[in-house]
A = this chain, B = another copy of it.
Amino acid sequence: MIKKYRIGNPIETDSVVIQIDSENEKVPYFQMMEEKKELSLQMEKKDSVFGLGETVRGINKRGYIYTSNCSDDPNHTEDKRSLYAAQNFFVVWGQGRGFGMYVDAPGRVTFDIGYTDLDTFTISFDDFDADLYVVEGESIKEIVKEFRGIIGKSYVPPRWAFGFGQSRWSYMNEQEVREVVENYEEQNIPIDSVYLDIDYMERYKDFTISDERFPNFKDFVKEMADKGIHLVPIIDAGVKIEDGYDVYEEGVQGDYFCKKEDGTNLVAAVWPGKVHFPDFLNEDARRWFGEKYKVLLDLGIDGFWNDMNEPAIFYTEDHLKEVFQELKEYEGKNLDIRSFFHMQGLVGGLANNEEDYRRFYHDYKGKRYRHDKVHNLFGYNMTRAAGEAFERLSPDKRILMFSRSSYIGMHRYGGVWCGDNKSWWSHLLLNIQQMPALNMCGFLYSGADVGGFGADATEDLLMRWAEFGIFTPLLRNHSAEGTRRQEFYRFAKTDGFKNILRLRYALIPYLYSEFMKAAKNDEMIFTPLCFEYPEDDLAYEVEDQLCVGESIMIAPVYKQNATGRYVYLPEQMKLCRFRSYDDYDVEIMEKGHHYIKAAMNEVLVFIRKGHALPLATPADRTEKIDYTNLKYECFQCDQDAYQLYMDDGISR
């Protein structure tokens, strides 16, 4: 059961699609403190808190403080309160009861979940205007499903997007892309896509192709398509200011860009230097920008990733001028601790400066809003622009789309990736921990950059990460400029990588089937153990195992030099220790604690009681998988226990 409670005069977000009348009663569970713009809840000792999407720390969010404020911050360390997304749905659960709440407010909201005081959960608002949806149910899963029912169905990508994708900032030309594909083919590692990062464009201009790097792009897209490879270009939020550049000129003419208070277009800067930001919140601008994707669709492109849409801002023209002015006062002075750090802060604080988010405005639903008031809707509406356009431009065929920034509602138009993570073992664990929270908020098509984007990957980290990544719908290996190359074929143990990736393709019938069922039934793919075994106290503390769909539980190894790990089984399960899709041990394991060996190339999969796991013979491409001859690993059932969802993988 869902009830809605209105605080103040909230700005509409279009995140909820089933309209509910507001209650006149007091908000339940939380105590409201109007003057402090706060809601406060006294937590019980056993209460856990789940949700909030893509944030740092564990599955149980209790013990830290999170601020919904979409941020381009590549250092996802434990102290960060905001990452790229604002996904304000959570469930409080303990002692067999609890509730869910969705805080629908597009500005800054802070969730202090036992940070200031271990037992107090306080939600505070910059503006005390919000729609609160309070969700009740008999279980966490039921609460999630109820909630998902009002926000609309999750985005569904084409099936090929379950194949592996290789990325790099950047493959610099046709030949580099060809070599990537050739290397994968040589190693017999399956692959479905290659990502094009910012350098495929002409000077970072959206919807252009560098003539120099990709002189015959349409032919090249076809050449790759003929090999079964999809090219997936990046699209950035900022439009380069350049006379003669059609997107810029149309945007100016159509008045589609975000404005400063004086009515002129905001000049900010990202990759190409100075840009304007399309006012994605504005319906006309959204429609216009969405149509631009047609340029690439017409060249044969059928997948995109939207980036820099928090929006990331290197600097605004106005702020940069101020900083250069202020810097002059520091020249020739004896800079001590205060003045030096201040001077450094001037320059270091240029990017993603909070003040800049107060320098521009949106024309949204007929009203003008200062950006910071609706900040968390920006990336959402950029991706909505694309999603709405694809419905018009590609009415029959699904298009791959995922975004860095997001807000609930965007889950209907695209997936997300977990942004610019690092080649850290702790970020492999973070990836594991983020997946269920994303699912709770409707983001099913998701995953993190396998091997880590920033910093240098090692072979063992990459292999262990791949061993988890093969279970995430979005499976992409991506890394940043200047870091060690980490394509799977770069390392010595190519057989290990090959077998792990081929295991992914063996799993695609199951993963796709579970994805589609979750999308259709408003369910999750990744669930923490306590969602499945709510009566089991120990299950609430397991932060490094997940159920994936109905049939399996996984326990990834995420520690350097480890050749095994502790696993908690809430009930008897059947362990499959995969070295490859057809080379694996099977063992029935009893309920309880186990230390289980898992060599560097081994993947631990546990079949749940009464469930079956279909496995295909791996193919080199997703669409070449033979569904007629699936093998089933079953535990206390036969293969009929599993309902395989099948479709053509591409029709909407």
Chain A interface (Cβ < 8 Å from any Cβ of B): 48, 57-58, 60, 62-64, 75, 77-79, 114-115, 117-118, 203-204, 269-274, 314-315, 320, 324, 327, 330-332, 334-337, 339-340, 343-344, 346-348, 350-351, 422-426, 454-456, 458-461, 492-493, 538, 541, 543, 559-564, 566, 568, 593-595
Chain B residues lying within 8 Å of A344, measured Cβ to Cβ, are 347-348, 350-351
A344 to B566, CA, bound (A): 45
4 smallest beta-carbon distances between A and B, as pairs: A273-B336, A79-B455, A347-B347, A273-B334
Q: A57-B560, A75-B75, A344-B347 are in contact. List 5 more A-B contacts (CB 8 A).
A: A60-B560, A62-B560, A315-B335, A324-B332, A344-B350
Chain B residues with Cβ under 8 A from A347's Cβ? 343-344, 346-348
Given contacts A115-B458, A347-B344, A348-B347, contact A272 B336 (CB under 8 A): yes
> Shortest Cβ distance from A463 into chain B, in angstroms?
10
Copies of this chain present: 2
Q: Which residues of B contact A348 (CB under 8 A)?
A: 344, 347-348
Smallest distance from the beta carbon of A333 to chain B beta carbons, Å?
8
| Contact flag A458-B64 (CB < 8 Å), given A344-B347, A541-B563 | yes
**Pairwise interchain contact B315-A340, C-beta atoms closer than 8 A:** yes
Q: How close is A484's CB to chain B, nearest CB, in angstroms?
A: 9
Complex Cα spacing A60 to B454, Å: 24
Residue contacts A-B, CB under 8 angstroms, 9 given: A75-B77, A79-B424, A115-B456, A115-B458, A118-B493, A269-B340, A315-B340, A344-B351, A346-B347
> Does B456 contact A58, Cβ atoms closer than 8 Å?
no
Question: Quick check: A58 and B560 within 8 Å, CB to CB?
Answer: yes
Task: Report A348 CB to chain B, min CB distance, Å.
Answer: 6
Q: With the chains together, A617 CA to B118 CA distance in Å?
A: 31
**Distance between Cα atoms of A36 and B346 in the complex (Å):** 42
A593: B residues at CB distance < 8 A? 566, 593-595
A538 to B564 Cα, complex, angstroms: 9
Residues on B with C-beta less than 8 A from A118 are: 458-460, 492-493
C-alpha gap A28/B624 in the complex (Å): 54
- Provide the bound-state CA to CA distance between A607 and B563, in Å: 27
| Alpha-carbon gap, A563 to B60, bound state (A) | 13
Q: A78-B424, A560-B58, A564-B541 are in contact. Are A320 and B335 (CB under 8 A)?
A: yes
Q: Which residues of B contact A340 (CB under 8 A)?
A: 269, 273, 314-315
Q: How far is the CB of A548 from chain B (nearest CB, A)?
A: 23
The answer to whether residues A543 and B566 also contact, given A273-B335, A458-B64 and a CB cut-off of 8 A, is no
Could you tell me the distance between the alpha carbons of A62 and B559 in the complex, rounded to whole angstroms? Answer: 12
Contact B314 A77 (CB under 8 A): no
Which among B314, B426, B458 is the interface contact of A335 at CB below 8 angstroms? B314
Q: In the bound complex, what is the Cα–Cα distance between A273 and B342 (angstroms)?
A: 13
Complex Cα distance A562/B541, Å? 6
The interface residues of chain B lying within 8 Å CB-to-CB of A424 are 77-79
A426: chain B residues at CB < 8 Å are 78, 426
Closest chain B residue to A455 by CB distance? Answer: B79
- Nearest chain B CB to A355 CB, angstrom units: 17
> In the complex, what residue of chain B is closest to A540 when comparing beta carbons?
B561
- Chain B residues closer than 8 Å to A331, beta-carbon distance: 324
Question: In the complex, which residues of chain B have a beta carbon less than 8 angstroms from the beta carbon of A114?
Answer: 458
Residue of B nearest to A330 (CB): B324
Contact A77 B422, beta carbon cutoff 8 Å: yes
Contact of A336 among B77, B204, B335, B559 (CB under 8 A): B204
Residues of B within 8 A of A541 (CB): 561-564
Residues of B within 8 A of A77 (CB): 75, 77, 422, 424, 455
Question: Which residue from chain B places its CB closest to the CB of A314 in the assembled complex?
Answer: B340
- How far is A1 from B108 in the complex, measured between Cα atoms in Å? 64
Contact of A204 among B203, B337, B422, B564 (CB under 8 A): B337
Q: For A336, what are the chain B residues with a Cβ–Cβ distance below 8 Å?
A: 203-204, 269, 271-273
